[in-house]
Amino acid sequence: MKEEIKSKFEELFGSEGDIKVYFAPGRVNLIGEHTDYNGGHVFPCALTMGTYAVARKRSDNKLRFYSMNFEKIGVLESTIDELKYNQEEDWINYPKAMIWALKSEGYKIDTGFDIVYNGTIPNGAGLSSSASIEVLTGFVLKDLFGLDVDMVKIALLGQKAENQYVGVNCGIMDQFIIANGKKDCAVFLDTATLEYEYAPVKLENEKIVIMNTNKKRGLGDSKYNERRAECEKALEELQEKLDIKTLGELTEEEFEANKYLIKDENRQKRAKHAVYENQRTIKAVKALEDNKIDLLGELMIASHNSLRDDYEVTGKELDTLVEESLKQDGVVGARMTGAGFGGCAVSIVKKDKVEDFIKNVGKAYKEKIGYEADFYAVEIGDGPIVL
């Protein structure tokens, strides 16, 4: 991949000057879904699939972008002084958002640059292709312009870019794990404080398998922002009596004792998911520490059921993948991952059963849905690097 993308860069923009190749991962969240904007815990890991970039500084203020994933669009141009969101500019709004976020906080980006991207993450699959581009762009700019910015700050700026520039009210999880991933570890992150620890994922006899529904979705046009607004309203209602800043501060018992304060049944269900999912995530990390893989699987299944019934973000495609997964031999657990409404599910499968699992679930999914799902047996990788 490194030589392929470098060759494309040189074909488009020439081979002179200091050209570097970079990589940032995608991510999958093992458990802790829709908790990151509710002050709860998440438990994601970075993947060895992700986004590559080749970049070189320019002496003028011109920006030239090209993606090998969208070859028909060709080279798109802008300048470092023209960073307004433009829907017609398609995918380059994500790198532009990151330049804007850095400049808005005083980081000096005083010339343009040429950049080529190539992602191995399926677009719209829910493995964070957009956050991968944002963090990768931040990492490239840190290197090209010698910016004094750490990776936690780059994650926060990626979230700012998504919230204030792109218009998706996402939490911090995606950018954080992509910026701070570690091989063979998941990150147990408290999204309220940004305190985190690396938890080794010791799957000696199991494999993480990601299942892509191939139902395309975009966060901005999903009901993502609506769910966040419902949780914020539920929190306001609880705060009339309780001294809390986030739903993530509540135990299941505290929620049950006070849920009557939430006047709408749907908002009550949304808040219940946020509270219970946070507690499931805490229990899942402990289960992994204690090498209780079966308990981790049970918590994953309970997570999916809650996302289906209380948060209502799954849909026929994701439910079919999870239901068919749980019928297979050697499956420890399965659940949707990401924002929902399409995208991916994640399963933990015994290594010697992976081949049969993919064949059987794939066949059942096509029969029920009418088109094929894609499957990826994945490895847990590091955060951004210069290649």
Model pLDDT for residues 246-278, shown as the tens digit of each residue: 999 999 999 999 999 999 999 999 999 999 999
pLDDT greater than 70 at residue 293 = yes
Q: Are 144 and 112 in contact (CB under 8 A)?
A: no
Cα separations in angstroms, 99 against 114, 175, 195, 231: 13, 15, 26, 31
Q: Which residue has the tokens 């901005």?
A: 220
Q: Is 319 one of the catalytic residues?
A: no
Minimum mean pLDDT range among 197-206, 216-225, 345-354? 216-225
Helices 173-180 + 151-160 axis angle, to 10: 150
Going by pLDDT thresholds of 50, 70 and 90, the confidence category of residue 324 is: very high
pLDDT score for 202: 84
- Which residue, among 32, 21, 86, has the nearest Cα to 303 in the 3D structure? 32
Spatial separation of the C-alpha atoms in residues 27 and 176, rounded to whole Å: 10
What is the average pLDDT across 53-69? 97
Amino acid symbol at 48: T
Specify the higher pLDDT residue, 219 or 86: 86
pLDDT greater than 70 at residue 13 = yes
pLDDT tens profile 166-197:
888 888 999 999 999 999 999 999 999 999 99
Question: Would you give the DSSP letter of residue 85?
Answer: -
Domain residue ranges of the chain, discontinuous segments joined by +: 2-200
Spatial separation of the C-alpha atoms in residues 175 and 153, rounded to whole Å: 10
Q: With left for phi above 0 and alpha for psi between -120 and 50, is residue 214 left, alpha or beta?
A: left
pLDDT score for 269: 98
pLDDT score for 219: 55
Catalytic-labelled residue, pool 36, 114, 174, 310: 174
pLDDT greater than 90 at residue 218 = no
Minimum mean pLDDT range among 139-148, 316-325, 340-349? 340-349
pLDDT greater than 90 at residue 340 = no
Pairing mode, strands 113-119 and 62-67: parallel
Pick the CATH number of 2-200 from 3.40.50.10300, 3.30.230.10, 3.60.40.10, 3.40.50.300: 3.30.230.10
Render 181-212 in DSSP notation, one character per residue: -BTTEEEEEETTTTEEEEEE---SSEEEEEEE
